[in-house]
Chain A
Amino acid sequence: GAVVSQHPSRVICKSGTSVKIECRSLDFQATTMFWYRQFPKKSLMLMATSNEGSKATYEQGVEKDKFLINHASLTLSTLTVTSAHPEDSSFYICSAPAVATDTQYFGPGTRLTVL
């Protein structure tokens, strides 16, 4: 079946630094990918929709300059958390819809810890 990978799986960084998270669709092309944030014991919150070849669409309340999204190719989207702070610590998950279906395939997630 379709596989979506994320890298890194875990990252620890110092406050003020930037962190890049990659999301790749391994055996299919995805013109759209979604980025979610999951708080402890909470559901997934959609942050933004990543569009190949154009700007990402951000959900209300998500800072565009804080969370930079680049959909560089049909198999890769990146989320960069700029000037990270401890409150940005969270579990970030990406997903991509499989071609011609409405099923989303989720990456395994990236655990970000900002010290």
Chain B
Amino acid sequence: GDSVTQMEGPVTLSEEAFLTINCTYTATGYPSLFWYVQYPGEGLQLLLKATKADDKGSNKGFEATYRKETTSFHLEKGSVQVSDSAVYFCALSGKNTGNQFYFGTGTSLTVIP
């Protein structure tokens, strides 16, 4: 079945460091891919998404490219800030899943000054 495998954390980085959080997926058909972010004590917020191969989603300095050949959707940011500290979830959804979302286990990021 459809699934998402996400890099385990926790990840601790210094401010202005480069961030990569790996995400790979298994799916039938061509799902849409998402990154959601959850700040402490809050619900999930959509960070970015890509709906087809080679699409790049971007928001707030974060980027992820839908790579069909490697079934990946790695999240990157060139220079993290303390305010980026949160839990990041990779997810997929699509017509083949009936709009049901499949989430990765989440990666906790802590950015220290």
The interface of chain A, by Cβ under 8 A from chain B, is 6, 32, 34, 41-44, 46, 49, 93, 95, 97, 102-109
Contacts and interface: CB of A to CB of B under 8 A. Distances in A.
Given A106-B43, A109-B43, A43 B101 contact: no
Interface of B: 32, 34, 36, 42-46, 49, 51, 89, 93-95, 99-101, 103-106, 108
A106 B45 contact: yes
19 contacts: A6-B43, A42-B105, A44-B89, A44-B101, A44-B103, A49-B100, A93-B43, A95-B101, A97-B99, A102-B32, A102-B51, A102-B93, A102-B99, A104-B46, A105-B46, A106-B36, A106-B44, A107-B43, A109-B43
A80 to B, nearest CB: 20
Contacts, number: 51
Contacts of B51: 102
Given A41-B108, A102-B51, A102-B93, A46 B43 contact: no
A44 B34 CA distance: 14
B99 A104 contact: yes
Nearest to A44: B103
Of A43, A93, A95, A106, most B-chain CB atoms within 10 Å: A43
A34 B32 contact: no
Given A41-B108, A102-B94, 20 more contacts: A32-B99, A42-B105, A43-B89, A43-B104, A43-B106, A44-B101, A46-B100, A46-B101, A95-B44, A97-B99, A102-B51, A102-B93, A102-B95, A103-B34, A104-B93, A104-B99, A105-B46, A106-B36, A106-B43, A106-B46
